[in-house]
Amino acid sequence: MLRKLFIGTALATSFAFSAHAADVKEVQMLHWWTSGGEAAALNVLKQDLAKEGYAWKDVPVAGGGGDAAMTALKAMVAAGNYPTASQMLGYTVLDYAAAGVMGDLTETAKKEGWDKSVPAALQKFSVYDGKWVAAPVNVHSVNWLWINKAVMDKIGGTEPKTFDDFVALLDKAKAAGVIPLALGGQNWQEATMFDSVVLSTGGPEFYKKAMNDLDEESLKSDTMKKSFDNLAKLVTYVDPNFSGRDWNLATAMVIKGDALVQVMGDWAKGEFHAANKTPGTDFLCYRFPGTDGSVIYNSDMFGMFNVPDDRKAAQVALATATLSKSFQSAFNVVKGSVPARTDVPDTDFDACGKKGIADLKKANEGGTLFGSLAQGYGAPPAVANAYKDVVSKFVHGQIKTSDEAVTELVKAIDDAK
């Protein structure tokens, strides 16, 4: 699929790189980390590489889901202008690897012992045909609630353990005149929240069958209809101005106390961190009700392209720095995620980070670590895009009922396979 894009006429792009960097001690990075918390986290890597004498050529493409960045990347690769590395998500890495445009980090991986420290779930997406083609940066999980503690105290709320508890909590916020649920009306945000709703509604086994195995009986089941019913209920607690809102602006609503809660991946914690907020004092982090014990994950990866020899040293330096224990701790403390290797201590992490690390370990060992369909780890991009499209149409009223949503979802996924 990608190969067809590369053979055709190169798309016009303003993000072109020189095929041979004038200065080989330069790292060229395409990414979509443009919010305050994300930029602060990326700065950790820039500083690490600067110590080794590498200049940083930043190519940011705004858009929290990464779709705009991936469009820019397709254009660059089609034109033969490969970046040193690009932020990428699971199945996209494998697509580019299958198209034969990725580099080979295997020698570095062996030297650094990545096969022993990186979880198998991540190696599935960073290794292709026996070769390491990407360096995992972190492990994010999406089934979180982020709550403003002052608002929670004001309404006398307690941690919701079930979906019904969550609805009751949102009702309390609504009665107090606070926006109950902060949401950005973009398809990836809506689908990310729906990931958690499906896990909460159907449980771990159902989530795996429907969202990772794409089992048709599960996708068209009454449980999936109930999941859409529950999503529809949550949407009634969103303010009318949510359409098109960026995710970090929704997070800011919670930080400021304009809204009680956001359902979002743990990159949201990076925004609280950037605003000098402390868990337990200023905000609360809970697993989405009914999902404790399971983790829906995604992982940012730095996909490494097949660059000319004079740029490979910079690539190795970037990969080595990315998976160093010191960087894994320092970066993920700021980003809100947890390390992409299992031997990094949780010493420097706050209470939410420590919970995230413990939850990941438990889910990894217990078989309840599941790829996020919305975030590119549940199924290939075409399927994920079909899923996001159906969920978004349902949220915005273009698909009217849960029965229709299930029918459309089954058809869209089948067409995308």
Q: Cβ atoms within 10 A of the Cβ of 246, count?
A: 16
* Domain match, 47 and 112 both: yes
Question: Mean pLDDT across the stretch 370-395?
Answer: 96
Helix (H, G, I), strand (E, B) or coil at 92: helix
CATH number at residue 91: 3.40.190.10
For the cut 70, the answer to whether the pLDDT of residue 11 exceeds it is no
For the cut 50, the answer to whether the pLDDT of residue 19 exceeds it is no
What integer pLDDT is reported at residue 101 of this predicted model? 97
For the cut 80, the answer to whether the pLDDT of residue 40 exceeds it is yes
Transcribe 217-277 into DSSP letters: HHHTSHHHHHHHHHHHHHHTTB-TT-BT--HHHHHHHHHHTSEEEEE--TTHHHHHHHTT-
**Percent of the chain scoring above 70 in pLDDT:** 94
Domain total of the chain: 2
- In sequence order, the 6+-apart residues with CB closer than 8 A to the CB of 116 are none
Task: State the residue range of the domain holding 265.
Answer: 142-294+371-416
For the cut 50, the answer to whether the pLDDT of residue 4 exceeds it is no
Question: Mean pLDDT across the stretch 57-66?
Answer: 89
* Domain match, 329 and 352 both: yes
For the cut 70, the answer to whether the pLDDT of residue 207 exceeds it is yes
* Domain match, 127 and 155 both: no
**Percent of the chain scoring above 90 in pLDDT:** 92
Q: How confident is the model at residue 63 (pLDDT cuts 50, 70, 90)?
A: confident
Read off the DSSP letter of residue 102.
B
* Domain match, 150 and 266 both: yes
* Domain match, 92 and 153 both: no
* Domain match, 175 and 105 both: no
* Domain match, 39 and 153 both: no
* Domain match, 343 and 391 both: no
* Domain match, 301 and 278 both: no
For the cut 50, the answer to whether the pLDDT of residue 10 exceeds it is no
Which class for 51: exposed (0-12), middle (13-18), buried (19 or more C-beta within 10 A)?
exposed
For the cut 90, the answer to whether the pLDDT of residue 12 exceeds it is no
Read off the DSSP letter of residue 103.
-
What integer pLDDT is reported at residue 18 of this predicted model? 43
What integer pLDDT is reported at residue 24 of this predicted model? 63
* Domain match, 201 and 153 both: yes
* Domain match, 301 and 288 both: no
| Beta pairing partners, 284 | 147
Q: What is the pTM of this model?
A: 0.90
Q: How confident is the model at residue 65 (pLDDT cuts 50, 70, 90)?
A: confident
For the cut 80, the answer to whether the pLDDT of residue 338 exceeds it is yes
* Domain match, 164 and 192 both: yes
